[in-house]
Amino acid sequence: MLALTILSIFILIIILIIVAEYRNEKKYQAKRRTKTTHNKKTAPKRSTVKKVTLEPDSTAKVESKVESKAELKAEEAVAEIKKLPEANYPKFTHIRLVEMGLSEEEAKEFVSELIPQIETEIPLMEAAIKEFDFHKMEQLIHGIKGSASNLGTGGVSDLLDDCNSYLKTGTDIDIIEAYLEHLVHYTEELKTQYTP
């Protein structure tokens, strides 16, 4: 039993190291892409090939990059196991309001009032994520979930319901960030659908 616990801790530490290296590699690649893009715009095109000689110190850098690629593949395997939420919700519909007796125009007006409410909450959610304040995030999602669910089904309403359910027990930052990205996307869809 003790050996199993130690093995579990060791595996967890390895996964954390891999995740940290993966994030560092992503930052490095992003910086490199912006530099490359900037250099392509400003530097004249050359058709000559440069000869590169490796010094003993640069061999270690190449080995480090090879290790980083192996760690990247390991991180991708961990991400597959993690299973980030997918956003395959049907289009939002306000049929619930019409069934309650509102006219089509009144129903659309109520839904259009939901959009600024969500847009106001998104920066607060981003701040809660940065602070790892999952309770606050759950409260924010819960508040707008109630409004969205009362107005209709599908789209942003279903997304908020799923996110709220996850936040009651889940604390994986990658999953929470994925839900937030989906919320931004579905809010834009709602704007397109209900803004004249």
Answer whether residue 54 is part of any domain.
no
pLDDT (tens digit, 0 to 9) for every residue of the chain, 196 residues total?
887 788 778 787 878 777 777 777 777 667 666 654 544 444 444 444 445 455 555 555 545 555 666 666 666 655 556 688 887 889 999 888 888 898 999 988 989 999 999 999 999 999 999 999 999 999 999 999 988 988 889 999 999 999 999 999 888 999 999 999 999 999 999 999 888 7
pLDDT value at position 42? 46
Q: How many domains does the chain have?
A: 1
pLDDT value at position 44? 43
Answer whether residue 187 is part of any domain.
yes
Answer whether residue 87 is part of any domain.
no
Q: Give the integer Cα–Cα distance in Å for 140 and 26.
A: 30
What is the residue range of 122's domain?
95-194
Answer whether residue 27 is part of any domain.
no
Cα dist. 167→19, 34, 157 in Å?
A: 22, 35, 15
Answer whether residue 157 is part of any domain.
yes
Look up the CATH number of the domain holding residue 131: 1.20.120.160
pLDDT value at position 66? 55
pLDDT value at position 72? 63
What phi and psi, each to the nearest 5 degrees, are found at residue 48? -90, 155
Residues 6 or more apart whose Cβ sits within 8 Å of residue 189: 91, 92, 155, 156
Q: Which two tokens stand for residue 189?
A: 């869809």
Answer whether residue 66 is part of any domain.
no
111, 61 contact by CB (below 8 A): no
Q: pTM for the full model? A: 0.58
183, 163 contact by CB (below 8 A): yes
Tokens 């259009």 locate to 112
Answer whether residue 86 is part of any domain.
no
pLDDT value at position 40? 45
